[in-house]
Structure 1
Amino acid sequence: MAREVRFTCIGLGNIGRNLLDILVHREEAIARDYDLRFLLVGAADSSGAAISPTGLDMARVRDLKLARQGVAAYEGAGRPGMSALGMVVSTPADLLVDAAPTNLRDGEPGLSCVRAALRARQHVVMADKGPLVLAFGELTALAKAQGVRLAFSGTVAGGLPTVNIGMRDLAGSGVERVEGIFNGTTNYILTRMDEEGLTYEEALRDAQEAGIAEADPTLDVDGWDAANKLVIVANSVLRRPTTLQDVHVEGIRNVTQADLRRAREQGKVIRLLAVAEKRGEDWAFSVRPTWLDRNHPMGRIGMWDMGVVYYTDYMGTISAVIEEKGPVPTSAAVLRDMINACLGV
């Protein structure tokens, strides 16, 4: 019989809702292949929370969100106005999923919930970047002290196992340089501008209409989303304590058709590239529009793609790319981390 894993989830937007949908459809396969059965015992969103020690119906929670209702409307289990932290501390569980919106001011509500779950010796799986950017060292030390897993492979380039490649698969080798296209929105915009001759404003509007850019696209187009992800890579893969203040950041607002044309004439493309470069005993970090040869691993990628290149001392150069047209691969990465955390992988 499959081992039951009780979990709570904070944040039921695109990532959290799609995670529940995947779990509904993959429940039997997960039980068969991994001997695990995930039971949602608590969930929280902006409306409040829902709690059931015997398990919430994940399809029902998903459908409430699709109907634009809050989880507090869950009949018999809803707790209108309950905070995410209140739900976490009052609900016995084995694992917390933090899929809350990223908040770079104070990391809330994710940061307090993650701290509480780790102190309660629960594994934590994160799609929320804010707590990691603001308190990576604290959270990883707390997880280690409590003997539980803190997993976050879905925070950098969605479903692409960027962090896993760097932390697990490059074990024993030294990383000398990292290059990444970590933000899909800016890659979409720059590719449409380059290949179709759109202006920045036209490409941004199309991205917003396609649902891949927010109404306020500042985090994406000004480079801060990519910088957040670079900070996570620096702390986790490079083991170099790093904050946003360590990253030189330039966005794409000032990239023009003339710039793209000059790059094309020289056989190059312009991408918003995140770079970590070893300099002596330390590292330099940047996110900026960069001219790349068209045959560069990050120069060849399409408008829906994200990717990473690791340059190492003994394992050579390793690149990986994902085509990601929506949030589902990130939700699948969260599930990957849930399974691996429970299996001790």
Structure 2
Amino acid sequence: MKRWNIMVTGFGTVGQQVARLLEQRRERYRELYEADVRLVGIVRSSSGLYDENGIDSGKWANYAHTKQAGNASWNALEFIKSVQADVLIEAGPSEKEGGPGLTYIRYALENAMHAIAISKGALVVDYAGLAALAKKHGTALKISGATAAALPTIDLLQYNLAGCEVKRVEGIFTGTTNFVLTKMMEEGLTCTEAVELAQKMGIAEPDPSYDIDGWDTASKLTILANAAFGGQVNLTDIERASIREITLLQIETWKKHAKIPKLIGTIQKEANGTVSVAVELCAVDFTHPFASVSGTTKAIRVETDVMGDLLVVGGKSDPVAAAAAALKDLEHIISR
């Protein structure tokens, strides 16, 4: 039975859910893939935890709730090097410049370690470079958790539609934003009130700007465009709409004209082969496929040359779903 040692970098809510699911699924991996999968290393911003025999739930739960002390001498990369895992799962925060996650993933791919990215920062900054490293060194770079998580996007485009020409992709890629718009339309809440409700429910972050100003959708589109279309899209070049300034008067006007507001991300492959990307606030008709996509639910619609159009709706928007998407990628790796 092959042994698979797993390292998780970033151990917030999502990282902890990865650890929990890994433990729950150990027998599944053994039975289906004859794989002995063990979480052996965890990296936080100023400390690490290692056990060559595997870190059980008691150990990692205690570690997760232990307050970190500042440690100027702590070197996360040296810790990662010492663990020598088979798979690195990057679950740290998504930083605009790539952050430590970019360094961790680069090291992994260069050193016989497969990488699964949940955070988006590294992929937004240098997906092409990371993919080239993976190809050069025979390692895998998996990105389901960073591209709408439980909503299948990258697998749909790269595997399910293999051989097709995908002409256009459009979707609702940010559950938080869709929740806010739904509450504004259905309950007459202001944007601020809807965001506060989302925060109380654990849907929105303390700083919601990344979601409501379109950055989350734009980041996912950047990764998808570059990974599935071979584009050279830069996040800062994307036309990006925000829902921040929507007024109750606009909401009433949309209702009067039987329209529903949605923040829609679009990837368009042009006739000359170039790829264009946009994040737009659209008022869609009630007959539009996205009109009934409410709450935190997400959706993707794909236009192809020979398989027609496809619509996928659903996928939870929470830390468990993000972790599960990453472990879907893990199963693809260990089953090869």
Question: Into which bin does the TM-score normalised by the smaller protein fall?
Answer: over 0.9
Q: 2:288 aligns with which of 283, 296, 300?
A: 296
Q: TM-score, normalised by structure 1?
A: 0.92
Identity of counterpart residues, as a percentage? 34
The letter for the 2-side match of 1:253 is: R
Structure 1: 5+ residue runs without aligned partners? Answer: 73-78
Q: Which residue of structure 1 aligns with residue 170 of structure 2?
A: 179
1: CA distance between counterparts of 2:76 and 2:67?
A: 13
1: CA distance between counterparts of 2:59 and 2:313?
A: 34
SS of structure 1 residue aligned to 2:203: coil
2: CA distance between counterparts of 1:69 and 1:28?
A: 29
Q: Which residue of structure 2 aligns with residue 134 of structure 1?
A: 125
2: CA distance between counterparts of 1:70 and 1:60?
A: 14
Q: In the TM superposition, what are the counterparts of 1:108-257 in structure 2 within 5 Å? A: 108-257=99-248
Does the CA contact (< 8 Å) of 2:134 and 2:141 recur in 1?
yes
Cα pair distance change 1:135/1:61, threshold 3 Å: same
Q: Which residue of structure 1 aligns with residue 299 of structure 2?
A: 307
How far 1:285 moved relative to its partner? 1.1
Moved more, 255-264 or 42-51: 255-264
Cα pair distance change 1:63/1:332, threshold 3 Å: farther
- String of CA shifts for 1:259-303, please: whole Å, max 9, x gaps: 222222232210111011233312321112111122322221120
Q: Which residue of structure 1 aligns with residue 66 of structure 2?
A: 69
Q: Which residue of structure 1 aligns with residue 308 of structure 2?
A: 316
Cα pair distance change 1:314/1:53, threshold 3 Å: same
The letter for the 2-side match of 1:305 is: T
How far 1:59 moved relative to its partner? 4.2
How far 1:70 moved relative to its partner? 5.0
SS of structure 2 residue aligned to 1:38: strand
The letter for the 2-side match of 1:219 is: Y
Does the CA contact (< 8 Å) of 1:20 and 1:62 recur in 2?
no
Q: In the TM superposition, what are the counterparts of 1:260-275 in structure 2 within 5 Å? A: 260-275=251-266
Q: Which residue of structure 1 aligns with residue 324 of structure 2?
A: 332
How far 1:252 moved relative to its partner? 0.5
- Residue 283 (structure 2) pairs with residue 286 (structure 1): no
Does the CA contact (< 8 Å) of 1:222 and 1:252 recur in 2?
yes
Q: 2:91 aligns with which of 82, 99, 113?
A: 99
- String of CA shifts for 1:294-321, please: whole Å, max 9, x gaps: 2322221120201111111111111112
2: CA distance between counterparts of 1:140 and 1:249?
A: 26
- String of CA shifts for 1:225-256, please: whole Å, max 9, x gaps: 11000001101111112111331011110112
SS of structure 2 residue aligned to 1:292: strand
Cα pair distance change 1:30/1:315, threshold 3 Å: same
Does the CA contact (< 8 Å) of 1:305 and 1:323 recur in 2?
yes
The letter for the 2-side match of 1:198 is: L
Q: In the TM superposition, what are the counterparts of 1:43-54 in structure 2 within 5 Å? A: 43-54=42-53
Moved more, 140-149 or 240-249: 240-249
How far 1:71 moved relative to its partner? 7.9
The letter for the 2-side match of 1:257 is: L
How far 1:80 moved relative to its partner? 9.6
2: CA distance between counterparts of 1:291 and 1:34?
A: 47
1: CA distance between counterparts of 2:88 and 2:195?
A: 35
SS of structure 1 residue aligned to 2:6: strand
How far 1:210 moved relative to its partner? 0.9
Cα pair distance change 1:162/1:258, threshold 3 Å: same
Structure 2: 5+ residue runs without aligned partners? Answer: none
Does the CA contact (< 8 Å) of 1:47 and 1:70 recur in 2?
no
SS of structure 1 residue aligned to 2:99: coil
How far 1:54 moved relative to its partner? 2.6
How far 1:329 moved relative to its partner? 0.8
Q: Which residue of structure 1 aligns with residue 39 of structure 2?
A: 40
The letter for the 2-side match of 1:237 is: A
SS of structure 2 residue aligned to 1:286: strand
Q: Which residue of structure 2 aligns with residue 28 of structure 1?
A: 27
Cα pair distance change 1:81/1:211, threshold 3 Å: farther
How far 1:195 moved relative to its partner? 0.5
Q: Which residue of structure 1 aligns with residue 4 of structure 2?
A: 5
Aligned structure 1 segments of 4 or more residues deviating by more than 4 angstroms: none
1: CA distance between counterparts of 2:208 and 2:147?
A: 18
Q: Which residue of structure 2 aligns with residue 14 of structure 1?
A: 13
- String of CA shifts for 1:155-188, please: whole Å, max 9, x gaps: 1112112110011111111111111111111111
Cα pair distance change 1:25/1:82, threshold 3 Å: same
The letter for the 1-side match of 2:42 is: A
SS of structure 1 residue aligned to 2:5: strand
2: CA distance between counterparts of 1:321 and 1:331?
A: 19
Does the CA contact (< 8 Å) of 1:21 and 1:59 recur in 2?
no
2: CA distance between counterparts of 1:262 and 1:122?
A: 54
